[in-house]
A and B are shown apart, each in its own frame.
Chain A
Amino acid sequence: MMQDFLFKASNISKYYGQNVGCKNVSLDINSGEVLGIVGESGSGKSTLLNCIYGNLKVDEGDILLNDKSKTILNFTKIDEPKLRLIQRSDLAFVHQNPRDGLRMNISAGGNIGERLMAIGHRNYGEIREIASSWLEKVEIDVSRIDDKPSTFSGGMQQRLQIARNLVTKPRLIFMDEPTGGLDVSVQAKILDLLRNLVRELGIAAIIVTHDLGVVRLLADRIIVMQNGNVIEAGLCDQVLDDPQHKYSQLLVSSVLQV
């Protein structure tokens, strides 16, 4: 019987010449679930995330999405127009650096509206209304709607990037260190916001981080990576409270010292 998964990646490998990016990684995620990918810098988290989002071509493996009409799409088999269409309707990607995910010379409202216009919204008043409601949701003063992100603080920029991505109600959102470059107090606010939005909208998320505090707050399940391999996977609390693999134990103990 077909499992009722939302997204599934199996045996993903990616090499950079001789170097391993990630090797033989499998993961799956159900709708509404949050999966954390943890590991130290260089362990292959970003490579894996970009591979399964479809941004990087994999060397081996399959990436399956159970789309809205219950058809299984394999990212490694479909053509580029189809993949890009899925990326801007079913999926979303939040970059660590808001500059990579925002248009800095376009107003906040235009940034949020772009995905709407890309899927065919052609009513200015409506687009503006939706943009305003999303600014409210991410706690940016609606009076800033016509200001450019370059005039925003780092935390505001990141919240704007989140709004820009969530506006079309994707079913799965990919995030690479979304709070990476921010102050601790700003991080906390964004994590809180993310947790509420993801729960409220029932969006599934795959979040990459080297910060175990982040996954503890957000993730239902985690996978732990080292040198491109998955070395442990399981329920978030289980892995963090009772890590089995030596490396996971090291990770957890080092976070406790902080």
Chain B
Amino acid sequence: MNDMSKDKNIDIQIYNFAYLDENTKRMIRRALLKALCIPGYQVPFSSREMPMPYGWGTGGIQVTSACLIPKDVLKVIDQGADDTTNAVSIRKFFQKTANVAVTEKTSDASLIQTRHRIPETKLKEQQILVYQVPIPEPLRFLEPRETETRKMHALSEYGLMFVKLYEDIAKHGHIETAYAYPVKTNGNYVTDPSPIPKFDNPKMNNNPAIQLFGAGREQRIYAIPPYTNVKSLDFEDYPFEAMKANFKCSICGSSDSYLDEIIVSDDGKRSYICSDTDYCKEQTQLNSKEEDQ
């Protein structure tokens, strides 16, 4: 037996499948089922200590842990990329503790954990998208009291949410909120979509996949079941717009995917590339195929 496999054996002995113990997973699954029954409603759950700091997406990791089964194919992205430190660590964590197959291809994944993006490739039925959420309460910035925000949700008192958009327009001439743009789920609960760019908001609407949200530090889980109406809040005279930088990806040439701005030379020259690395690769391949023909 070589050293590698010895280590692996030890891991499997030490950790339950996907790290969390079965009782904890059952508790989280109950919260998830409740969340799916009441789309957009924040279900409290007793978040566990995870072997990583909160900023690393412990809420999402616990949700993923509770959902994973051995035949799952896992994809992990951070800001759309599979190769950032955060994504690599989480992917390794589940390879080590659950020994599941992993992929970078959106269409091959059965479960995708994400921070700050929704993949460009359309999701399908049978897929699960798990969002890492820092602050689950969309009213928090305006109303610090939890007792009040709960009541506001319960009674659909969302005037205050529009005050935030009003303030944006008053200050900037347009709705400046570009990330974590609030949505109304199933015509009922106002929901924080996590800090995804508002460009991604329309992808949440009527999506065939299951969307699950986990906030570790704040101990909340919420969900959007497949094919649920998700509407971004707006004013009649300032309608919602899914905006992105008006450029083409300098790698694949795509003009309809969300772009990251990067500085490419010492003198500050800028360039734009797809934030979704898998989508960019796919587009590049498609392009070269077309050239071959």
Residues of A participating in the B interface, judged by any CB pair closer than 8 Å = 80-81, 84-85, 88, 103, 106-107, 109-110, 113-119, 122-125, 127-128, 145-146
In the assembled complex, which residues on chain A have CB atoms less than 8 Å from the CB atom of B162? 117, 122
**Contact in complex: A118, B157 (CB < 8 Å):** yes
Of B158, B171, B237, which one neighbours A125 at CB under 8 angstroms? B237
Residues 137-160 of B, flagged 1 when their CB comes within 8 A of A and 0 if not, give 000001000000000001101111
What residues of B have a CB within 8 angstroms of the CB of A119 in the complex? 159
For residue B227, CB closer than 8 A to chain A, the reply is no
Q: Is the CB of B235 within 8 A of A106?
A: no
B167 touches A106 (CB 8 A): yes
A124 touches B166 (CB 8 A): yes
A227 to chain B, nearest CB (A): 33
Q: Are A106 and B163 in contact (CB under 8 A)?
A: yes
Q: Cα distance A61–B236 when bound, in Å?
A: 45
Q: Within the complex, which residue of A80, A84, A115, A117 is in contact with B166, where a contact is CB–CB below 8 Å?
A: A117
Which residue on chain A has the smallest CB distance to residue B235? A124
**Across the interface, do A114 and B236 meet the contact criterion of CB distance under 8 Å?**
no
Q: Across the two chains, which residue of chain B brings its CB closest to A82? A: B155
Contact B237 A118 (CB under 8 A): no
Contact residues in A for B166 (Cβ distance below 8 Å): 109-110, 113, 117, 124, 127
Q: In the complex, what residues of A have CB within 8 A of residue B159's CB?
A: 114-119
Chief secondary structure at chain B's binding surface = helix
Neighbouring B residues of A109 by C-beta, 8 Å: 166, 170
A126→B238 CA distance, assembly (Å): 12
Chain B, 225-253, CB within 8 A of any chain A CB: 235-238
**A107 in complex: contacting residue of B154, B155, B167, CB < 8 Å:** B167
Instruction: Report chain A residues within 8 Å CB of B236.
Output: 122-124
Residues from 154 to 186 in B contacting A, C-beta threshold 8 Å: 154-155, 157-160, 162-163, 166-167, 169-171
Q: How many A-B residue pairs have CB under 8 A?
A: 55
Check A123–B157 contact: CB distance below 8 A: no
Q: Which of B155, B158, B163, B169 contacts A81 (CB 8 A)?
A: B155
28 A-B pairs with CB atoms under 8 Å apart are A80-B155, A81-B154, A84-B155, A85-B155, A88-B157, A103-B163, A106-B167, A107-B170, A110-B163, A113-B163, A114-B159, A114-B160, A114-B163, A117-B163, A118-B157, A118-B159, A119-B159, A122-B162, A122-B235, A122-B236, A123-B236, A123-B237, A124-B236, A124-B237, A125-B237, A128-B170, A145-B170, A146-B171
Are A110's CB and B169's CB within 8 A?
no
Interface centre among A80, A122, A128, A146 (most CB of B within 10 A): A122
- B159, B166, B169: which has the most chain A beta carbons within 10 Å? B166
Given A107-B170, A114-B160, list of 6 further CB < 8 A pairs? A81-B155, A106-B163, A117-B162, A125-B237, A127-B166, A146-B170
Shortest distance between the CB of B240 and any CB in chain A (Å): 12
Residues of B within 8 A of A123 (CB): 235-237
Chain B neighbourhood of A103, CB < 8 A: 142, 163
Cβ contacts under 8 Å, B155 to chain A: 80-81, 84-85
- CB of B105, distance to nearest CB on chain A (Å): 41
Q: A122-B235, A123-B236 are in contact. Are A110 and B170 (CB under 8 A)?
A: yes
Docked CA distance A114–B166 (Å): 9
Inter-chain contacts of A118 with B (CB < 8 A): 157-160
